[in-house]
């Protein structure tokens, strides 16, 4: 059995000890660079198993149709919108997942938010260039400011809890959010218009779907206060990227902290890389020691169970 581990950007996959527990006839090959879609059929043709690190690489039906040896896909997490589950089922390909960490993305959300409102990257660069408070404006205060949370699910509710520790008012909206759920999270349910027009910081925590794609478009960005910040650690296409770039370049919002993008990896020369008042990270939300250890432990367990003829954590 040959196993391909895709998008091992930080070259950590094989550093985890769990692979050694697999039977001797299982070989594992990590790929450290993102593979273009056109190259995937030839690359993956010899493999029986593909490990997908979240949604870094799409596995559509057109690709699966050209991989007759493929029998198992294992994804980090129990949901992966980049895998065509229907096509996999039709071809007899089993898809399995893992548990997901509940705090790593929440922590990165706050890292981005704090760096953004206090101007940490610019201040760090200025200090290293021999200057002292001369290249940066005073940062914003969180205490008594308003955090608008779009989506109060597993992650959004934890972000809201941290906001309370900073003494922030928390308001929330999503299409199916109830007042009862908001109250459970010590937040106030408001309309989308009220959230956008009154929040000092808007943070996005909904899943990408046809319903949420472009949820933060030009009109929504225009409804935000010019002093407000946007943070997105969910999925890039939830925010209209072109509209966000324009809003930032024209100073219509104060700044943005982003971990996710329409196209990943973000290509060299992308307009966001030169957009002012941004803090950008390369989709690190779940890339922590603890989360990756959880992922690889359960990925290996999924492969071992399938090898033994008893698949576990089957998706779909």
What is the rounded CA–CA span in Å between residue 291 and residue 173?
Answer: 28
The two structure tokens encoding residue 73: 């896909």
Which of 54, 283, 298, 307 is the catalytic position?
Answer: 283
Q: Is residue 64 within 8 Å of residue 84, measured between CB atoms?
A: yes
- H/E run at residue 114: helix 104-117
Which of 264, 270, 297, 313 is the catalytic position?
Answer: 264
Q: Is 283 a catalytic residue?
A: yes
The two structure tokens encoding residue 77: 């997490």
SS3 48: coil
Task: Report long-range pairs for 108-111 (Cβ below 8 Å, ≥24 apart).
Answer: 108/233, 108/259, 108/281, 108/284, 108/285, 109/155, 109/159, 109/203, 109/205, 109/231, 109/233, 109/285, 110/159, 110/162
Q: Is 128 a catalytic residue?
A: no
What is the rounded CA–CA span in Å between residue 297 and residue 21?
Answer: 10
What is the rounded CA–CA span in Å between residue 120 and residue 114?
Answer: 8
Q: Is 264 a catalytic residue?
A: yes
* Bridge partner list, 147: 170, 201
Active site residues: 235, 264, 283
């Amino acid at each position: 059995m040959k196993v391909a581990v895709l998008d091992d950007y930080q070259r950590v996959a094989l550093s985890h000890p769990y692979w050694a527990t697999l039977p001797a006839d299982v070989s594992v090959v990590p790929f450290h660079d993102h593979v273009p879609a056109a190259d995937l059929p030839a690359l993956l043709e010899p493999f029986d198993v593909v490990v997908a690190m979240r949604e870094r690489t799409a596995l559509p039906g057109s690709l699966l149709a050209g991989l007759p040896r493929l029998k198992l896909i294992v994804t980090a997490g129990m949901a992966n919108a980049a895998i065509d589950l229907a096509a996999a089922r039709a071809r007899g390909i089993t898809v399995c997942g893992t548990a997901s960490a509940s705090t790593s993305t929440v922590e990165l959300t706050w890292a981005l938010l704090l760096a953004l409102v206090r101007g940490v990257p610019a201040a760090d660069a200025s200090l290293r260039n021999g200057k002292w408070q001369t290249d940066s404006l005073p940062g914003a205060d969180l205490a008594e400011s308003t955090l608008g949370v779009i989506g109060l699910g597993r992650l959004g509710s934890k972000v809201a809890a941290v906001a309370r520790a900073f003494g922030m008012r928390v308001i929330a909206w999503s299409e199916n959010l109830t007042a009862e759920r908001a109250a459970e999270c010590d937040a106030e349910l408001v309309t989308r218009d009220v959230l956008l027009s009154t929040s000092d910081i808007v943070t996005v925590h909904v899943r990408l779907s046809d319903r949420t794609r472009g949820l933060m478009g030009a009109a929504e960005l225009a409804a935000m206060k010019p002093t407000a910040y946007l943070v997105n650690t969910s999925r890039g296409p939830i925010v209209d990227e072109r509209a966000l770039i324009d809003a930032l370049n024209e100073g219509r919002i104060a700044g943005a902290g982003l971990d996710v993008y329409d196209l990943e990896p973000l290509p060299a020369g992308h307009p966001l890389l030169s957009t002012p008042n941004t803090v950008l990270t390369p989709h690190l939300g779940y890339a922590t020691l603890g989360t990756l250890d959880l992922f690889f432990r359960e990925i290996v367990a999924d492969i071992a169970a399938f090898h033994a003829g008893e698949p576990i954590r089957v998706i779909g």
